[in-house]
Amino acid sequence: MRRAERGPAHAKHPQGPGASAPGHNSLGVSALERPSDQDAPQWLRTPAACGRLCHVPILAQEGGDLRAQVRQRRWNPQSPLRPWEAVYMERDVNSSSERSQEVLADLPHSPAGLLGSAPNRVLSLRSARRYLSPERLASVRREDPRSRTTSSSSNCSAKKEGKTKEAIFSVEDGSVKMFLRGRPVPMLIPDELVPTYSLDTRSELPSCRLKLDWVYGYRGRDCRANLYLLPTGEIVYFVASVAVLYSVEEQRQRHYLGHNDDIKCLAVHPDMVTIATGQVAGTTKEGKPLPPHVRIWDSVSLSTLHVLGLGVFDRAVCCVGFSKSNGGNLLCAVDESNDHVLSVWDWTKEAKVVDSKCSNEAVLVATFHPTDPTVLITCGKSHIYFWSLEGSSLSKRQGLFEKHEKPKYVLCVTFLEGGDVVTGDSGGNLYVWGKGGNRITQEVPGAHDGGVFGLCALRDGTLVSGGGRDRRVVLWGSDYSKLQEVEVPEDFGPVRTVAEGRGDTIYVGTTRNCILQGSIHTGFSLLIQGHTEEVWGLATHPSREQFVTCGQDKQVHLWSVESHQPLWSRTIEDPARSAGFHPSGSVLAVGTVTGRWLLLDTETHDLVAIHTDGNEQISVVSFSPDGAYLAVGSHDNLVYVYTVDQGGRKVSRRGKCSGHSSFITHLDWAQDSSCFVTNSGDYEILYWYPDTCKQIINADYVRNREWATATCVLGFGVFGIWSEGADGTDINAVARSHDGKLLASADDFGKVHLFSYPCCQPRALSHKYGGHSSHVTNVAFLWDDSMALTTGGKDTSILQWRVV
In a domain, residue 327? The reply is yes
Q: How confident is the model at residue 152 (pLDDT cuts 50, 70, 90)?
A: very low
- Give the up-direction half-sphere exposure of residue 467: CA atoms within 13 A in the CB hemisphere: 22
In this structure, the answer to whether residues 135 and 228 fall within a common structural domain is: no
User: Does residue 407 lie within any of the structural domains?
Assistant: no
722 and 602 within one domain: yes
- For residue 231, is pLDDT > 90? yes
Mean pLDDT of 283-305: 96
Give a yes or no: residue 117 inside a domain: yes
For residue 382, pLDDT over 60 is answered with: yes
pLDDT value at position 164?
62
567 plus 691 within the same structural domain: yes
Least trusted range by pLDDT, from 30-39, 693-702, 782-791: 30-39
Q: Looking at residue 235, what is its pLDDT?
A: 98
Q: What pLDDT sits at residue 496? A: 97
In a domain? residue 188 = no
- Asked which of 146, 181, 209 is the last residue of a domain, the reply is 146
Q: Quick one: average pLDDT of 131-135? A: 36
Domain annotation covers residue 86? yes
So what's the pLDDT on residue 648?
94
Q: H or E stretch including 115?
A: helix 111-115
| pLDDT tens string 485-518 | 999 999 999 999 999 999 999 999 999 999 999 9
How sure is the predictor about 285, in pLDDT bands with cuts at 50, 70 and 90? confident
* Domain count across the chain: 3
The CA-to-CA distance between both ends of the chain, in Å, stands at: 28
Q: What is the pLDDT of residues 425-440, one digit of tens each?
A: 999 999 999 999 999 9
pLDDT class of 546 with cuts at 50, 70, 90: very high
The residue-averaged pLDDT of 631-652 equals: 97
Q: How far apart are CA 791 and CA 804, in angstroms?
A: 20
- Model confidence at 136, pLDDT cuts 50, 70, 90, reads very low
Distances (CA, A) of 78 to 102, 105, 138, 139, 141: 20, 12, 10, 12, 8
Question: Band of the pLDDT at 156, cuts 50, 70, 90?
Answer: very low
> What are 654-713's pLDDT values in tens digits?
999 999 999 999 999 999 999 999 999 999 999 999 999 999 999 999 999 999 999 999
pTM of the model: 0.81
Instruction: Answer yes or no: do 141 and 238 share one domain.
Output: no
Are 726 and 591 found together in one domain? yes
Positive or negative, the CA dihedral 571, 572, 577, 583 is: negative
| Exposed e or buried b per residue across 310-327, where buried means at least 16 C-beta atoms within 10 angstroms of its C-beta | eebbbebbbbbbbbbeee
What would the pLDDT profile of 72-81 be if each residue is shown by its tens digit? 333 333 434 3
Question: Average pLDDT for residues 386-408, to the nearest whole number?
Answer: 95
Q: What is the mean pLDDT of residues 468-476?
A: 96
Number of residues that this document lists for the chain: 804
Cα within 13 Å of Cα(582), Cβ side: 26
The 8-class DSSP code of residue 601 comes to E
Regarding whether 130 and 237 lie in a shared domain, the answer is no
**In a domain? residue 116:** yes
- Do 770 and 625 lie in one domain? The reply is yes
Per the prediction, the chain carries an average pLDDT of 85
Q: What is the DSSP letter of 29?
A: S
- Chosen domain end from 104, 130, 146: 146
- What's residue 113's pLDDT? 36
Q: Are residues 223 and 109 in the same domain?
A: no
Residue 86 domain boundaries? 25-146
pLDDT in tens, 176-187: 999 998 899 999
Q: Taking residues 543-555, what's their average pLDDT?
A: 98
Domain-embedded: residue 667: yes
- pLDDT reading at 57 higher than 50: no
- Mean pLDDT, rounded, for 377-405: 96
Domain boundary among 106, 126, 146: 146
Q: What is the CATH number of the domain that holds 298?
A: 2.130.10.10
Using 50, 70 and 90 to split pLDDT, how confident is the model at 149?
Answer: low
Residues 660 and 769 occupy one common structural domain: yes
With respect to residue 168, please indicate whether it lies within any of the assigned structural domains.
no
